[in-house]
Amino acid sequence: MESELTQGKKIILSGIQPTGTITLGNYLGAVKNWHNMQSQFDSIFFIADMHALTVRREPSEFRQTALSFFAQLLACGVDPNKSIMYFQSHVRQHAELQWILNCNTYVGEASRMTQFKDKSAKHADNINMGLMDYPVLMAADILLYQSDLVPVGIDQKQHLELTRDIAVRFNNRYGDTFKVPDGYIPTTGAKICSLQDPTSKMSKSDPDRNATVSVIDDEATIVRLFKRAVTDSGSEICAREDKPGITNLINIYAAIENKSVGEVEKEFAGQGYGTFKIAVGEAVAAKFKPIREEYQRYAADKEYIAKVANKGAENAAYLAERTLRKVKKKVGLVSF
């Protein structure tokens, strides 16, 4: 993809933190849609490695995970010829714009963010400024590229609203500078929950290995994880509020096989949970087999990953600098 974005297409931007591995939930809820977005939008996708620094990580392991995530995205169909794809830390303009936006964000706004409160509770021994400032960096990510659309889940809606507030405030004070972005809700993709706690979202950082399925798990592992999945009392395969375990499995099977919930219920009417769990596991394993094979090919080719990442960062920086130069001029910073 060239530095200049296509005239007439809307710009969509999304990032993913390199923690754990890309899960079934990430794939169905986000990454699968990234693949589909590439033809419809000018797409900018990045590994949010700066965001991930808010939690302490072992450096060498963190570096390897970030590289692995890049290879996983390629394997899932993100095409660097159609999208700009890069590591956030390779584009300095993210951090530069964040500082200027910090000076236009109120402490009360940042401290009210629900995710800051949640993460502070989970990491009580490391309540750092990055946890509070995370949404302002996210605002910089989005506003740098004059993004029209940002795919957001429920946990990020509040951050997008803050981004919009910051953009409007800056525009009102300094004149038209930033495009005010909208949230983007894909037409496909259900909320995928933990296999061990079907009342919680499947998380790539979940310490319980039985709770998540990765796009790079082998077939035997995937089937075994689904066999161990938590279900509910009774034996009827139907989606109901009082049956979160089986409802989660139905949603997964429906999303993988491109079927409606009703079609899945009809297909497995009269069959037991055990049979259904194996069927879901086999369907997911079949879907992820080509992804895993592509991942192994990309992961072994560090030179190709470096080439794609460097080119993506170069293109991203070109676009980001256009916005940053305008912002610096608006706030009165000296430029020669």
Domains of the chain: 11-184+302-331 (3.40.50.620), 209-296 (1.10.240.10)
Considering the chain, what is the average pLDDT of its residues? 91
Catalytic residues: 119, 201, 204
Residue 4: pLDDT above 60?
Answer: no
Q: What is the pTM of this model?
A: 0.89
Cα–Cα distances in Å, from 127 out to 89, 99, 111?
22, 20, 12
| Other CB atoms within 10 A of residue 60 CB | 8
Could you please report the per-residue DSSP string of 86-100?
A: EEGGG-THHHHHHHH
Residue 167: pLDDT above 70?
Answer: yes
| Other CB atoms within 10 A of residue 234 CB | 12
Positive/negative CA dihedral, 66, 68, 71, 73: negative
Q: Compute the distance between CA of residue 191 and CA of residue 181 in angstroms, rounded to an integer.
A: 23
Residues in the chain: 336
Looking at residues 266-291, what average pLDDT do you find? 95
Looking at residues 55-65, what average pLDDT do you find? 93
Choose between 255 and 153: higher pLDDT.
Answer: 255
Share of the chain above pLDDT 70, in %: 93
